[in-house]
A and B are shown apart, each in its own frame.
Chain A
């Protein structure tokens, strides 16, 4: 079947097998390997991308289900500068091996768009569907707090900036 999917604001289109998983559409069909996978069973969140603005697990979502919809992946986080979430992960050492990081950041970005000032408990719940084996989560929580503070200082979230452009 032929699908047309907006990925990070760009229209993409391909002939695919009906059963192709969204994570494979991104990684194999489009060659965008920033989105990883870590399990087969919706448990680890390494494959997290946004589908129509909401973070979902792309290894148990069909590419066909995204046909005509929009997807945002880690490659779509950076604008003119790094997203505050990306910068926060660097500043607070929120990553080590980097494998869960793209999924974590997609969740973090979605959280901050909804709640620009989340407390620790809110952050912990938000990332509870994303496993990390390196950080013990401590510095991921701090990274997201860093991003929240950064946004508050600059007064604009990424989404607001995007809306301002539109």
Chain B
């Protein structure tokens, strides 16, 4: 079997301790949560941290709760907990829909929200979900706390705004009413990374779209979204014409790489199909839910 190169293992019992360990080992240290993505990279020797700081013990970061007008998700929340959270489902079904197709049940038992976001794979699903919902991440360092909008979080493939000596501790999502959301993904096989995936939320105000968010992954969409398509939708009637126009903008503005998952024309086409499907289902749910203020 492949094995990782040597490193020093440290375990943190608190966020402060984790920060102090990061400080001690410097930029060659990495945090590890679930490890089901990072350890394969280390076994293939594509990643070679000198120190691993295990933050699985940070129960303080394992929560899903309402915090004022936001949903707050602790960075150490496991994927399985997101999938099964009644609170998240009550507000946004996009969470369960996305989680159901992330990796496999075992990886979801172990993998965390913070770990997935910080691994920052260009095909990662939660990046699209939080981009769609215009979430923000909370990052802590010994110097204090800062917040970064999800749409500024990724600075490149496998690179995020989380700097040396910092820890992503929470992801926050605004609570919206009269909202519907959905996630659509096509993969070659259960558990494979997306060929493309798209998520959306739609808020309806009467017969108009008053707010909308789009998230797109695996196709090089800037910041995992498409602001131009969102702008085109706001104020529009939630009809086929608006949906198709927005989907077309997403398809033309993304920047897919060609790989064994598909050629460029297919991936662009797929983006348009999935964005349209996510929008249609979001609109349908928003229509039903608008009378009750939450998703049905």
Contact = CB atoms under 8 A, between A and B. Distances in A.
Whether A and B touch (Cβ < 8 Å) is answered with: yes
A35 B176 CA distance: 47
A32 interface: no
A19 B6 contact: yes
Interface stretch (B35-43, B131-139, B248-256): B35-43
Interface string A1-27: 100000000000000011101011000
B72 to A, nearest CB: 23
A41 B40 contact: yes
A48 B105 CA distance: 11
Nearest to A60: B39
A57 B106 contact: yes
Interface residues of A, number: 32
B3 A129 contact: no
B44 interface: yes
Contacts of B8: 18
A107 B4 contact: no
A16 B83 CA distance: 35
A84 interface: no
A100 to B, nearest CB: 13
Contact of A125 (B54, B103, B105): B105
Q: Which of B7, B9, B106, B109 has the most CB of A within 10 A?
A: B106
B123 to A, nearest CB: 15
A129 B103 contact: yes
Contacts of A125: 105
A65 B6 contact: no
A53 B150 CA distance: 33
Nearest to A37: B1
A129 B104 contact: yes
Contacts of B269: none
Interface residues of B, number: 31
Interface string B30-52: 00100111011001100000001
Contacts, number: 95
Interface in A50-82: 51, 54-57, 59-62, 64-65, 67
Contacts of B107: 42, 57, 129
B11 A60 contact: no
B155 interface: no
B145 interface: no
A153 interface: no
Given A42-B107, A48-B106, A125-B105, A61 B7 contact: no
Interface string B7-43: 1110100000000000000000000100111011001
Contacts of B7: 18-19
A43 interface: yes
A54 B54 contact: no
A51 B109 CA distance: 10
B11 A67 contact: yes
Given A18-B7, A64-B9, A64-B54, A129 B106 contact: yes
A67 B11 CA distance: 10
B261 interface: no
A73 to B, nearest CB: 14
B5 interface: yes
A54 B39 contact: no
Q: Which of B4, B43, B109, B190 has the most CB of A within 10 A?
A: B109
B2 interface: yes
20 contacts: A18-B8, A19-B3, A40-B2, A41-B44, A42-B39, A42-B106, A42-B107, A45-B104, A54-B109, A55-B109, A56-B110, A61-B36, A62-B9, A62-B54, A64-B54, A65-B56, A126-B105, A128-B190, A129-B105, A129-B106
Interface of B: 1-9, 11, 32, 35-37, 39-40, 43-44, 52, 54, 56, 80, 103-107, 109-110, 190-191
Given A19-B4, A19-B6, A64-B54, 20 more contacts: A17-B6, A18-B7, A19-B3, A21-B39, A23-B1, A40-B40, A40-B43, A41-B40, A42-B103, A51-B110, A55-B105, A56-B109, A57-B36, A60-B36, A62-B9, A62-B35, A64-B9, A107-B106, A129-B106, A129-B191
